[in-house]
Every structure is written in structure tokens, then in C-alpha cells.
Amino acid sequence: MHKSGFPFTPNDEANELLAADGTALLIGLCLEQQVRSEKAMMGPFVLRERLGHLDAAKIARTPPAKLDRAFRQKPALHRFPGMMAKRVRALCALIAHEYGNDGSRLWGGQTDAEPLYERFKALPGFGEDKAACAVRIMAKYGKQRLRGWQRYASDEDLPWEFLGGKRLS
């Protein structure tokens, strides 16, 4: 277990946000596709700066053009800002509706990896590989005791770790 929570960006504040806010972590994982891990995981921090919040229900209600602009603002949040704005909006709608507007409720109280894997896999922007990686992240960094988590992904599939702003090798 890593002592600093989710050490996936060179920015301590962004890492603290990932550790403190389940919706932020889910947005970061959603963005983790065709960009460097630290850029994806930095996305929730930057999005919060641009929107003034990370409230899933508010993001889901944000007009698509406004959210698209927030994703495209320089520097763009993702290599594919328009597509990812739509995915994050859909993800936030599901978090608001299914998990009481709190992303951490997705894993809260879970003790077995398999049902948690299925929950992750059902999220917009998540497939089998990302869901498996999310299970491993929750067990390794999120302090979740999950039976059977070791069979999901491998440490090589996880985002890079940073310490003191520098990537660990």
C-alpha cells in the first residue's frame, strides 16, 4: 500500500484530490486512454479549476457545449477533448443517478473483487482492461480489502507513480 494515496501525477494537490474524491478518481480513470497516465489523472484537478467544482450531478447537467469548451481550453484536458467531454458527462450522470452523486459509493462496502470489477466495467468509458486496472488500484492504493483482487490486471498495467513530483521507475 502506498502511503500517499493515489500518487499518479507529479502534482501533490491533484493526487490528494484523487484520494479524497471518488468522482475525481473515476473521472481520471475514464480519461486514461490514449494519453499519458499522469495527464489523465491530472484531468479531474484541471476540470475542477475550470468548472469550479466536480459535482457529478452538476457536470451531468452542464450543457454539452459548455463542458466541451472546458475540455478544449488550452491546454486541452485530453487528446480527444470532445469525445472525452461526452464520456465524462455520461459517467457523471451515472454517478449522480446510481451512486448518490458520490463516486466512492461505487466501491464502498465491497469486499469481493469480482462484483467491483463488474461495477467498474459498467461505467461509461470503462472496458475490461480499465475495470481490471481499477480493481487493482482500489486494492493496492485505495485501502480496499478485496478478496481475489490479485487476478485483476498487473502492476505493469497501473499508472506510473510519482513521489516529490518525480516519476518513480
The verdict on residue 146 lying in a domain is: no
Q: pLDDT digits over 11-25, tens only?
A: 999 999 999 999 999
- Paired with 167 in beta bridges are 162
Residue 84: CB partners within 8 Å, gap ≥ 6?
30, 31, 33, 71, 77, 78, 125
The verdict on residue 136 lying in a domain is: no
Residue 157 has pLDDT above 80, yes or no: no
Round to whole Å and give the CA distance between 61 and 169. 41
The pLDDT, as a whole number, for residue 169 is 60
DSSP 12-75: HHHHHHHHH-HHHHHHHHHH-SSS-HHHHHHHHHHHHHHHS---HHHHHHS-HHHHHHHHHSSS
Domain tally, the chain: 1
Given its phi and psi angles, is residue 165 left (phi above 0), alpha (psi -120 to 50 degrees) or beta?
left
The verdict on residue 126 lying in a domain is: no
pLDDT band at 155 (very low <50, low <70, confident <90, very high): confident
| pTM attached to this predicted model | 0.92
The pLDDT, as a whole number, for residue 3 is 44
The verdict on residue 89 lying in a domain is: yes
The verdict on residue 158 lying in a domain is: no
Residue 73's CATH number = 1.10.340
pLDDT band at 121 (very low <50, low <70, confident <90, very high): very high
Round to whole Å and give the CA distance between 29 and 21. 13
The verdict on residue 150 lying in a domain is: no
Q: pLDDT digits over 64-112, tens only?
A: 999 999 999 999 999 999 999 999 999 999 999 999 999 999 999 999 9
Query: What is the residue range of 28's domain?
Result: 12-109
Residue 123 has pLDDT above 90, yes or no: yes
Q: pLDDT digits over 21-45, tens only?
A: 999 999 999 999 999 999 999 999 9
The verdict on residue 17 lying in a domain is: yes
